[in-house]
């Protein structure tokens, strides 16, 4: 087994990765930077991704609408939260968090460093929002702080991406990863299992594909239906299905067996606020999913990267 693998989980967990990168345990805190998305706005938008309702991403954002620095301060100092944390990563989560003019990005990202415990930023975005001027800003911040970019791929199938109205191709994703890594910036990838038209085989094969791209982390989600998304209507009509829990646990194990052990696993399950999640209603969180995937790997006698 490779050194990065957690001995109990049998995969390379994100917490241990961050300890090595920022010099100690780190807590991510989510903020709303007031961004939108090129797939939605009036100049370029085509209606947004069919599975998406961005309000479902606000559960971890405690003070949306306030200035970034105020969100950061209030979240860190909130009673009963983060009492023993020494390092914080500010996660720009909602919508496409590099979709703005460079000067505005510089201002928003720098505002995150308003507390001495902030060790860096994490920027969630799309492949088509990472032009050279954006990367100039992020590279500059990365000279003195930790910076990570999380890029939404969602599926390694152009047909599936077109079917969910994603608005970019797999080749554009590959080019974006190469551009980010050329700046020395850590790169994470978001991938969804069970999207309409996708297959388990394609999901599993993506592990090897990503392992060859010099990424540092991967975040796995299961396809879930949230209220207010275009696919909610399709669900009500019986035209789309969501994965069963055991199916997804097994698919995650398949994926991890083929993923380079050097790639950290950021997450294994998606989430949505109560009242917004329509299906599946698993009542499982990140801890339970990690435990169950680890148990499946143990049952098989394998680990992350065992079948590479």
- Give the number of other CB atoms < 10 A from CB of residue 206: 24
DSSP string across 142-192: HTTSEEEEEEEEE-S-HHHHHHTT----HHHHHHHHHHHHHTT-EEEEEEE
Which residues, in sequence order, are bridge partners of residue 267? Answer: 219
Could you say which of 3.40.50.300, 3.80.30.30, 3.40.50.1970, 3.40.50.1000 is the CATH number of the domain covering 14-300? Answer: 3.80.30.30
Per residue in 269-300, pLDDT (tens digit) is: 988 888 889 999 998 899 999 999 999 999 99
Helix (H) or strand (E) holding 106: helix 102-111
C-alpha–C-alpha distance, residues 45 and 151, integer Å: 19
Please say whether the beta carbons of 275 and 55 come within 8 A: no
Q: Which pLDDT score is estimated for 43?
A: 57
Q: Which pLDDT score is estimated for 257?
A: 98
Stated pTM of the model: 0.94
Residues 6+ apart with CB under 8 A from 228: 53, 55, 276
Q: Give residue 47's pLDDT band: very low, low, confident or very high (50, 70, 90).
A: confident
Q: Where are the domains of the chain?
A: 14-300
Q: Which of the listed ranges 46-50, 150-154, 165-169 does the model predict with the highest average pLDDT?
A: 150-154
Residues 6+ apart with CB under 8 A from 186: 21, 146, 147, 148, 149, 216, 217
User: Would you report the helix, strand and coil content of the chain in percent, each value rounded to 5?
Assistant: 35, 15, 45
Residues present in the chain in total = 308
């Amino acid at each position: 087994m490779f050194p990065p693998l957690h001995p109990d989980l049998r995969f390379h967990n994100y917490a241990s990765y961050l300890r090595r990168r920022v010099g100690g345990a780190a807590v991510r805190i989510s903020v709303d930077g007031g961004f939108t998305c090129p797939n939605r706005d009036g100049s370029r938008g085509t209606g947004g991704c069919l599975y998406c309702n961005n309000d479902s991403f606000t559960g971890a954002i405690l003070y949306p609408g306030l200035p970034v620095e105020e969100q950061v301060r209030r979240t860190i100092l909130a009673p009963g939260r983060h009492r023993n944390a020494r390092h914080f990563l500010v996660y720009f989560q909602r919508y496409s968090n590099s979709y703005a003019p460079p000067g505005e990005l510089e201002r928003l990202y720098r505002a995150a460093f308003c507390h001495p415990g902030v060790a860096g930023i994490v920027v969630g975005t799309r492949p088509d929002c990472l032009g050279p001027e954006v990367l100039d800003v992020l590279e500059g911040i990365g000279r003195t702080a930790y910076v990570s970019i999380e890029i939404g791929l969602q599926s390694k199938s152009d047909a599936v991406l077109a079917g969910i109205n994603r608005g970019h191709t797999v080749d554009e994703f590959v080019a974006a990863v190469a551009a980010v890594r050329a700046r020395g910036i850590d790169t994470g990838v978001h991938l969804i299992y069970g999207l309409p038209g996708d297959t388990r085989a394609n999901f599993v094969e993506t592990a090897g594909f990503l392992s060859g791209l010099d990424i540092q982390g991967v975040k796995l989600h299961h396809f879930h239906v949230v209220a207010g998304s275009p696919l909610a209507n399709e669900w009500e009509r019986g035209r789309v299905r969501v994965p069963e829990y055991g199916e997804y646990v097994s698919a995650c194990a398949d994926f991890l067996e083929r993923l380079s052990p050097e790639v950290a696993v950021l997450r294994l399950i998606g989430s949505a606020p109560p009242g917004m999640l329509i299906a599946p209603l698993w009542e499982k969180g990140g801890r339970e999913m990690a435990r169950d995937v680890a148990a499946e790997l143990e049952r098989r006698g394998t680990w992350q990267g065992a079948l590479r």
